[in-house]
Amino acid sequence: MAMKGARPNRKTMSKDKQLGYYNDYDNVIDYIEIKMHRMADQFAKKGKPDVAEKLWLALDMYLDHKAALWFEKGEPVMRKYTDAELIENSKQLDDKDDETSP
């Protein structure tokens, strides 16, 4: 059984893809994902798996385009998207996929 607070590999961590939210751009690295990984790992190592788990959940929502995530004064801030925003984001992602499909 995995230690609480330990993070399983995520599909975005594969070596053949760019990390993070902006994986369509070869020259852009998503600082938010990197910072959240580091913070969660640090909290898990310090014996605070509950905090680490909350950071992982926020990161998952961000990477799944279900929430906005940013930093203020070094602390992560998350805002869940409303249902209307999720629908709009989904339409934009579908339109983007249509543009890149052969």
pLDDT at residue number 92: 72
Residue 91's identity, in one-letter code, is K
pLDDT at residue number 8: 46
pTM (predicted TM-score): 0.64
pLDDT above 60 (res 100): no
CA atoms within 13 A on the CB side of 40: 21
Give the residue, 35 or 90, on which the prediction is more confident: 35
The residues that bridge with 71 in the sheet, in sequence order, are 76
pLDDT above 90 (res 16): no
How do strand 75-80 and strand 67-72 relate by DSSP bridges? antiparallel
The residues that bridge with 75 in the sheet, in sequence order, are 72
pLDDT above 80 (res 12): no
Mean pLDDT (whole number) for 22-44: 82
pLDDT digits (tens, 9 = 90+) for 40-67: 999 999 999 999 999 999 999 998 888 8
